[in-house]
C-alpha cells in the first residue's frame, strides 16, 4: 500500500474534521467533540495559527493525520514538538503509516532544533503504548495530565 505525507492545506480541513470525529469515536469521546471546519481552519491557517498538521494520503484520499504544536521545556531551555493527535483509519493500520507519521514529526523536531517530541496516550490503549515503545518512546510513569476546561476554566480565569 502506498501513501504520502505532506503538510495539511486549507482544502484538507473537511477531511481533517471527519478524521477527528473518527478518532473521537475510537476513543469513546464523541461527547467532547466541538470542532468545526471553520474553527479548525482558523487555528491551522488563520491570522495567528496555533497548530500545524500533516496528512497522509493513499489513492488520493486523506486517510490519516497528525496535529501538533510547539511547546517549551524550561529544563532544556529549548522548544519541543507536542503531538496532540495522530490517527490512521482502521483499513490503513499495519501499513507503516503510523510509523511514517511519527518519523516525519521527529524529522521536523530535529530540523527545527527542538529538544523533545512528546505526546499522551490513553492508559487503556495497550496496542498504541506497545507501538510507541517499539518506536523508542518512554511512557512516563510518574506524570499525570492536569486539565482545566469549561466552567472550571472560566472560574479559575476570573479575577478574584
- Residues identified as active-site: 132
Q: Which of 24, 26, 37 is nearest to 93 (CA)?
A: 26
The angle formed by the CA atoms of residues 54, 55 and 58, to the nearest 5 degrees, is 150
CA dihedral 145, 104, 16, 29 (to 10 degrees): -30
Helices (H), the chain: 13-26, 37-45, 97-111, 126-134, 150-157
Helices (H), 27-83: 37-45
For helices 126-134 and 97-111, what crossing angle results, to 10°? 50
Strands 61-73 and 78-88: antiparallel
| CA gap 155, 60 in Å, rounded | 46
Amino acid at each position: 500500500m502506498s501513501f504520502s505525507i505532506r503538510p495539511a492545506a486549507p482544502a484538507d480541513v473537511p477531511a481533517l474534521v471527519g478524521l477527528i470525529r473518527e478518532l473521537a469515536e475510537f476513543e469513546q469521546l464523541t461527547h467532547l467533540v466541538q470542532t468545526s471546519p471553520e474553527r479548525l481552519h482558523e487555528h491551522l491557517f488563520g491570522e495567528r495559527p496555533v497548530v500545524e498538521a500533516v496528512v497522509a494520503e493513499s489513492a488520493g484520499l486523506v486517510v490519516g493525520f497528525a496535529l501538533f504544536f510547539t511547546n517549551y521545556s524550561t529544563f532544556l531551555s529549548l522548544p519541543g514538538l507536542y503531538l496532540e493527535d495522530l490517527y490512521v483509519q482502521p483499513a490503513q493500520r499495519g501499513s507503516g503509516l503510523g510509523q511514517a507519521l511519527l518519523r516525519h514529526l521527529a524529522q521536523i523536531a530535529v530540523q527545527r532544533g527542538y529538544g523533545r517530541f512528546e505526546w499522551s496516550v490513553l492508559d487503556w490503549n495497550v496496542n498504541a503504548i506497545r507501538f510507541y515503545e517499539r518506536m523508542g518512546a518512554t511512557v512516563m510513569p510518574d506524570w499525570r495530565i492536569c486539565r482545566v476546561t469549561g466552567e472550571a476554566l472560566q472560574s479559575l480565569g476570573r479575577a478574584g
